[in-house]
Structure 1
């Protein structure tokens, strides 16, 4: 009899162990969710379990979420070591938030890493987001304020009805976003900022150029230099990257694009005379085509450098006599900019007479330019 009982107990223990390892629905049917937002090269990921307003049994809990199901303040939940626990900001296991790089939350510094995310919900006064260094516990039953990495103030906002507790991101900018929890009729936000997002890009770019096959082609070196020029960052090193694209061993290629890239960096460094010299070489380079030189001329017009633009449009016409449209459009725009309306009209009329098929959709605009010039002649 004892032997039989021993066998039965052994089998029962085996079944229990097996049952604990199988996949079953989450507690309360609070489905697991995850959302990630990138701020440049920085990722922000929130993992959470998502309860719904109507509850696992279908009961309608509208109007009974905030201050009831979600308790106000810090309370003793009757279980675990915490006698003053905030809300777990979700369901089941800890809601967690992971930052791939250092960030600022509501203007305060927070190191890269994974944090337990809690919310202090108040009946009156501001609420507080809590970022805990302990992210591996169940709910907030073992919450310890000594493990807080950061607390920041927030204010709940009214929102459209949301059945399932949801985390998401809004106001996505180049260096910041607003994360928020939304449930029932409230949205609770916090701002995430990356103070040095362009420097992080530069660091990543540098590693890519030096550490893999991308560095064995001139295009990535140009892309890297252009990024720095456009954002006015890391310009001295960007100049060496531009030179590498032009004349680097095995990979360098001197053409209009690589020369223009170097000029962009020089302009960003306020070394305009050197940049002009490089661009003079670029527009006369055998690889320079009509559209590239034309767009350079237009960029000069946009910058108010009308005389220089006029020179570029003339060079484009001289070097590409077989082009009977774009070079004349350039001359027309250049002459108009310097106030020579008669020459501008003449060149517009020549360009319109030779308009190619793929430009005919813009014909009304070109004719309007001529009409405007004639009206003010």
Structure 2
């Protein structure tokens, strides 16, 4: 009896074309490209327009009679986006796509196909196209033996993908809406186990406050962050963020009430840096009150002496400020703080505000 077994078998890839994956984060979006890497192998000058056929061609196999290049070797080259993106300014939904190139030396066409599971481009069907983008190939200074994909020109919300082989590169730019994708992620994750602790609600609310966006929903998130149920009812961070959101919404009285709730829960550093913000905003009286509260809780410590120096300076009393600055200088815990306090002392001796 003869038994024929069909199974996956681990061996070298066909044609010795190296299998590869490259992945990069663009904002919170993960971009992954899976492909096989053919080599030039002495075919210099015959890759583009030869090994890589121009435009669409009948490959002599499969149903496609007008197939683009598979943008690699062996199996389909695929590209995955974890969120919605834009490719050279055109929208493309999150997902995994077969990636093809209709090469032309002047203007190549990139094709993102909904079919990501077929072998190469033998089964390419234009009806399955999700997006087509035209780009201009770029000449490389140095020949690239093995085809590769690289990420370049990266910013927090964009990156350029470079398909490089022999002496040519085909680039395309990926853009993400950093704020929109982050907020969408918050909405999704807060519905799961992340929503049981105040820190995650606070992180989401704080992101919106800092970016001055989605404030009405952010206020609801801050309600959860400051609730007994999530454990944030005594969090300075949660209450101060809520105060900031209310202030941005123009609800100033409510913002002040929320900040009053925050103050008793602030630690020495939180109160100090909140007071510094007030001083920087030229709210001298309010800043002094917080610096004094911090000092009364933690008297004669380095940071609270420095705070009192800033508080009196904000009120214009440079003489009293100088006394506290000198005390803080004597307590400086490291060279960096010592240098900073020495400059503060000199500024106060010159009769100038150290909060400017």
TM-score range, shorter chain: 0.7 to 0.9
How does 1:173-252 map onto structure 2 within 5 Å?
173-195=155-177, 197-212=178-193, 214-249=194-229, 251-252=231-232
CA offsets, 1:180-210, max 9 Å, x none?
2122233222122233x43443343334333
CA offsets, 1:78-97, max 9 Å, x none?
33333333221100121112
Deviation, structure 1 residue 49? 0.8
The answer as to 2:56 corresponding to 1:79 is no
Describe the shift of the 1:171–1:282 C-alpha distance in structure 2 as closer, same or farther (beyond 3 A): same
Which residues of structure 1 form unaligned runs of 5+?
1-9, 55-59
CA offsets, 1:198-251, max 9 Å, x none?
344334333433332x33333222223222222333322322332333333474
Provide the rounded CA distance (Å) in 2 between the counterparts of 1:31 and 1:316.
Answer: 62
| Higher share of residues assigned helix | 1
User: Is the 2:278–2:286 contact (alpha carbons within 8 Å) kept by the matching residues of 1?
Assistant: yes
Which residues of structure 2 form unaligned runs of 5+?
none
Deviation, structure 1 residue 36? 2.5
CA offsets, 1:28-66, max 9 Å, x none?
111221222333443322211111222xxxxx2333322
Aligned to 2:307: 330
Question: What SS does the aligned partner of 2:273 have?
Answer: helix
Deviation, structure 1 residue 293? 0.6
Question: What SS does the aligned partner of 1:247 have?
Answer: coil
The answer as to 2:353 corresponding to 1:371 is no
User: Is the 2:224–2:230 contact (alpha carbons within 8 Å) kept by the matching residues of 1?
Assistant: no
TM-score (norm 2): 0.86
Aligned to 1:29: 16
Provide the rounded CA distance (Å) in 2 between the counterparts of 1:128 and 1:194.
Answer: 21
Describe the shift of the 1:365–1:252 C-alpha distance in structure 2 as closer, same or farther (beyond 3 A): closer
Provide the rounded CA distance (Å) in 1 between the counterparts of 2:181 and 2:87.
Answer: 18
Question: What SS does the aligned partner of 1:313 have?
Answer: helix
User: Is the 1:107–1:193 contact (alpha carbons within 8 Å) kept by the matching residues of 2?
Assistant: yes
Deviation, structure 1 residue 294? 0.5
Question: What SS does the aligned partner of 1:219 have?
Answer: helix
Provide the rounded CA distance (Å) in 1 between the counterparts of 2:24 and 2:175.
Answer: 12
Describe the shift of the 1:280–1:161 C-alpha distance in structure 2 as closer, same or farther (beyond 3 A): farther
Question: What SS does the aligned partner of 1:151 have?
Answer: strand
Provide the rounded CA distance (Å) in 1 between the counterparts of 2:328 and 2:7.
Answer: 79
Provide the rounded CA distance (Å) in 2 between the counterparts of 1:69 and 1:364.
Answer: 65
Question: What SS does the aligned partner of 1:82 have?
Answer: coil
The answer as to 2:110 corresponding to 1:129 is yes
Provide the rounded CA distance (Å) in 1 between the counterparts of 2:311 and 2:112.
Answer: 59
User: Is the 1:245–1:254 contact (alpha carbons within 8 Å) kept by the matching residues of 2?
Assistant: no
Deviation, structure 1 residue 165? 1.2
Deviation, structure 1 residue 371? 1.9
Provide the rounded CA distance (Å) in 2 between the counterparts of 1:115 and 1:361.
Answer: 52
CA-based RMSD of the aligned residues comes to 2.8
Question: What SS does the aligned partner of 1:114 have?
Answer: strand
Question: What SS does the aligned partner of 1:172 have?
Answer: strand
Question: What SS does the aligned partner of 2:334 have?
Answer: helix
Deviation, structure 1 residue 321? 5.5
Aligned to 2:46: 64
Deviation, structure 1 residue 339? 4.3
How does 1:202-351 map onto structure 2 within 5 Å?
202-212=183-193, 214-249=194-229, 251-283=231-263, 285=264, 287-317=265-295, 319-320=296-297, 322-351=299-328
Of residues 137, 144, 152 in structure 2, which corresponds to 1:170?
152
Deviation, structure 1 residue 296? 0.5
Deviation, structure 1 residue 152? 0.5
CA offsets, 1:310-347, max 9 Å, x none?
33223323x23623322221232244445443333232
Provide the rounded CA distance (Å) in 1 between the counterparts of 2:44 and 2:38.
Answer: 13
User: Is the 1:32–1:50 contact (alpha carbons within 8 Å) kept by the matching residues of 2?
Assistant: yes
Provide the rounded CA distance (Å) in 1 between the counterparts of 2:189 and 2:64.
Answer: 47
Q: State the 4+ residue runs in structure 1 displaced beyond 6 angstroms.
A: none
Deviation, structure 1 residue 281? 3.7
